[in-house]
Amino acid sequence: MDRRIFEKGSPLRFVLTFLSLFLLLHYFNILFFGLTTPENHYSPFLDNHLNYIRGLRHLLLGSSEWLLRLAGYDTVSNDMELLVAGKGHIRVLYSCLGLGVMSFLTAFVIAFPATLRQKLVFLLPALIIIQLLNILRFVLLALFWKSPGSLIIDHHTVFDAIIYVLIVVSLYVWVQRRTRMPV
């Protein structure tokens, strides 16, 4: 086998690195969620001291509640739910946090042959934008969501489609800037 196909910058190396990183990140998040959920193979230490999933949920719910209160709505929340008085409520589950799309984006950017600075300048704002859009989704759902049976299309599907389109377009532009040949 020709070793050049695995050299830095080769398409095969990129694809293998991307897939490996994506699977690692994605399944690590699922494993960690399982370890911090009491009915699974529970680890009190991980749950009490390193639970980034609960921290992200708390940040997203707290930010959503802050925006709603800023807009004049009365809200009540706990670790997983947000209620807007006279409107509706949402329950933020693991699947609502955007960890899958963040794993995809992170794996792609890390696998792509660019400098560390170029990767960080793109990745950090992109991850923040994904979560800002997630907060906007939570606010809108808390105000307008009635019941799962009342809509034909699931809001997760719509949100994921919008986010993946934005990610693909952003990655296309970012990759084009990195691979542009000097004239």
For residue range 142-157, list pLDDT tens digits in order.
Answer: 998 765 555 566 778 8
Q: Is residue 63 part of a domain?
A: yes
Determine the distance from the C-alpha atom of residue 151 to the mean position of all C-alpha atoms in its chain, rounded to a whole number.
24
Is residue 28 included in any domain, yes or no? no
Within a domain: residue 148? Answer: yes
Q: What is the DSSP string of 92-134?
A: --GGGS-HHHHHHHHHHHHHSS--HHHHHHHHHHHHHHHHHHH
Flag whether 43 is in a domain.
Answer: no
Residue 161 in any domain: the answer is yes
Number of structural domains the chain divides into: 1
Residue of higher predicted confidence among 5 and 137:
137
pLDDT tens track for 65-83: 999 999 999 999 999 999 9
CA gyration radius, the chain: 19
Residue 5 lies in a domain: no
Backbone angles phi, psi at 153, to 5 degrees: -105, 135
Judge whether 137 lies within some domain.
yes
Rounded-to-integer distance, Cα 139 and Cα 54, Å: 19
CA distances from 46 to 28, 42, 95, 109, 121 (A): 13, 9, 20, 28, 30
Range of the domain at 156: 52-179
pTM over 0.85? The answer is yes
Q: Is residue 59 part of a domain?
A: yes
Cα–Cα nearest to 156, from 66, 93, 114: 93
**What's the mean pLDDT in 28-48?**
93
